[in-house]
Amino acid sequence: MTEWTILGAGALGCVIAGQLHQTGERVGFMLSERHRGHFHPNLDLITLSGRHQLIQSQPRFPEHARKVECLLVFTKAYHVLEALQELQHLPKSTPVILFNNGMGLSEQVKALLPDNPLLVGVCSHGAMKEQDWLVRHTGKGDTWLGPLNEAGKAWQHLIKPLAKALNHCEWSDDIALHQRRKLAVNAVINPLTAQYNISNGQLAEPRFKEAVEQLSDEVYQVISNLDASSAESREDFRRRLAQVIELTAANHSSMQQDVTHGRKSEIDYITGYILQHAEGIPVPVNQQLYDEIKNREMHKTKLAA
């Protein structure tokens, strides 16, 4: 049985670790240098039914990378490259699955790990970090897995244990399509909830109707322009967006959590990606939200310095 090593003990990484553990899979956490010397309690996962599930796992550090059998990367998008660079002893045969939010890292990861089987995971489970090592599973979702390079194509069998643990996991040869669809939802929910400091569900209130509509129209146009042949209709996108807002109504988006806690956000990989790929499509609402959130990040960094 493959051992799954989770890189990035954030909310979603911990929830997936807990779900895998629950179905008898072996799971470990790879910690980065900045966690060395800290105390590591067991992971306490609050399941959907409100039960506490304790997960014991020996923390691993970069020098243990040569033993990693399958690496699941849940690190924040802006830490992915740095965290992978630390794993110099990672065997070239180890599959690496990128689950990070946003887009724009694929080419750099391919250049960094040219021999490893590379895959992308797109997962819509809801997760919330209550404190370090205490994480709540807030909603069931879907998971898609697909190859990022030729070697990744041989790892389709990983969907079986993932489907058992996560309720759903399917293979897609066009995983970029699923990435784009998730990015489109994140590009509406995340910056708006961060800017107005609200839960996902509050976006359904009439006072945010106009902002949601304007932003989703801009995002829809940019995303469908990236690959017109696989684009969903505007109505389907709106329906899907409304469904995610409803299903994650009690959640605070990852960007809202990052911004309110004064952490760096993934705005560059979400809204930044939309701005970079606008190709002449007017995106004033995206630009405004991008500028405001970057401004707040810079201000926080200055205060912390």
Q: Which residues belong to the active site? A: 182
CB of 21 or CB of 252, closer to ligand KPL: 252
Q: Which of 253, 265, 271, 286 binds ligand KPL (CB under 6 A)?
A: 253
Within 73-102, which residues bind ligand KPL (CB under 6 A)?
A: 101
CB of 189 or CB of 219, closer to ligand KPL: 189
Cα gap 152→119, rounded to integer Å: 5
179 in contact with ligand KPL (CB under 6 A): no
Helical (H) or strand (E) element with 138: strand 134-139
224 in contact with ligand KPL (CB under 6 A): no
Asked if residue 265 lies in contact with residue 271, where contact means CB atoms within 8 angstroms, the answer is: no
Least Cβ distance, residue 213 to ligand KPL (angstroms)? 17
Q: Angle of helix 11-22 relative to helix 159-166, nearest 10 degrees?
A: 100
Cα gap 223→182, rounded to integer Å: 10
Cα gap 36→33, rounded to integer Å: 5
Cα dist from 62 to 7, 66, 111, 296, whole Å: 10, 9, 20, 33
189 in contact with ligand KPL (CB under 6 A): yes
Q: Which of 251, 265, 271, 286 binds ligand KPL (CB under 6 A)?
A: 251
Token pair, residue 128, equals 């919330």
Backbone angles phi, psi at 17, to 5 degrees: -60, -45
194 in contact with ligand KPL (CB under 6 A): no
Q: Which of 62, 126, 152, 191 binds ligand KPL (CB under 6 A)?
A: 126
244 in contact with ligand KPL (CB under 6 A): yes
Which amino acid belongs to residue 255? M
Taking CB under 6 A as the binding criterion, the range among 83-91, 110-118, 185-193, 292-300 that sits at the site for ligand KPL is 185-193
Least Cβ distance, residue 247 to ligand KPL (angstroms)? 9
216 in contact with ligand KPL (CB under 6 A): no
Least Cβ distance, residue 241 to ligand KPL (angstroms)? 10
For residue 139, what is the DSSP state?
E
19 in contact with ligand KPL (CB under 6 A): no
88-126 burial, b for 16+ CB within 10 Å, e for fewer?
A: eebeeebbbbbbbbbbebbeebeebbeebbbbbbbbbbb
End-to-end CA distance of the chain: 46
Q: Which of 94, 190, 224, 265 binds ligand KPL (CB under 6 A)?
A: 190
- Count residues binding ligand KPL (CB under 6 A): 13
CB of 94 or CB of 186, closer to ligand KPL: 186
CB of 116 or CB of 124, closer to ligand KPL: 124
254 in contact with ligand KPL (CB under 6 A): yes
Token pair, residue 113, equals 């790990």
Residues that bind ligand KPL (CB under 6 A): 101, 124, 126, 185-186, 189-190, 200, 244, 248, 251, 253-254
